[in-house]
Structure 1
Amino acid sequence: MKKTLSTTAVTLLLAGLAACSSNSGSGASDQQSTTGKAGASATPTASKPLDASNAFTQISGKVASAKLSGTVTAANDPNHLLGRPGQYTSKITFDDTRIPASEVSGTDKGDIERGGAIEAFATAADARSRAKYIAAVTKSMSALAEYDYVHGTVLVRVSHYLTPAQAAAYKAAIGKLS
């Protein structure tokens, strides 16, 4: 039953994310959300936006349990958002070795539940807009809750199977992105 619920929940989330992607470009500050809670994070000092692979390299240097699991391309993007106006310009997925395999049995490689994903955008407003959209979609579905951290043009999405303290390591790592 847990496997069926998880698969159904993931399917609903992916359908919702693909069908109703937000592109409002609000001026809200950078945010963290688990169940709609907001918090601030630092603004990057780099002059050019980070791509998802570079951001992962920096983050995984600080969070040793993060292991690259895939690079999203236009051909394999389950959300069909890569390169679309206002959407991510690059995306990677990662596993976190602290998540027990029994918790994520039945999920597919690249699913957020296994660890997370990093999405990079052309503008910080696009990254914030995507984070707000995901928070709105997952707010009423606790099985789909995740930790989302925005830092400039980068959105780091982290599995809800990690404890708040474990997820905080990602928040600390993105605060040091350059």
Structure 2
Amino acid sequence: MKDRALHSTTEVSFEVNGKAESLTLDNRTTLLDALREHLHLTGTKKGCDHGQCGACTVMVNGRRINACLTLAVMHEGDEITTIEGLGELDNLHPMQAAFIKHDGFQCGYCTPGQICSAVAVLEEIKANIPSHVTGDLTKPAALSPSEVRERMSGNLCRCGAYSNILEAIEDVAGVSA
């Protein structure tokens, strides 16, 4: 009985990239490990495994999160979108296409997290969710380089493609880069 308490499992069901998934997981399994190791969605990367780099960014119910910092069992019934769920090879998501157009990557390791975060950033601004640099909370949030930089600050790129990433986001938003 004591051993069972140490290795408890739970069945969790959620929707991943539009597909219903049900897994029996150790309660300590992170969402990142459930996606990568159990569902074989390896686009989401394990970078620091401490929530500091953003390589594992996915969207849960439309909000971006670091998948390494949350347990899979906490997402019962949630809708999860990974980089694999944004577009397909012959039909890229506009953000994926903009990253290619503006060379928003170098080594590419952080790119899936950057793209998922960028998609969510535009939705946050559209929904008028303020950031720490939003100047006037009585007016709608506006897309500006400082807003994008602040909102994307949790996604690190060791190669330094930040200016190209900003151009890609502005392109998708319809703002002149």
Normalising by structure 1, we get a TM-score of 0.27
Compute the TM-score of the two structures, normalised by the length of structure 2.
0.27
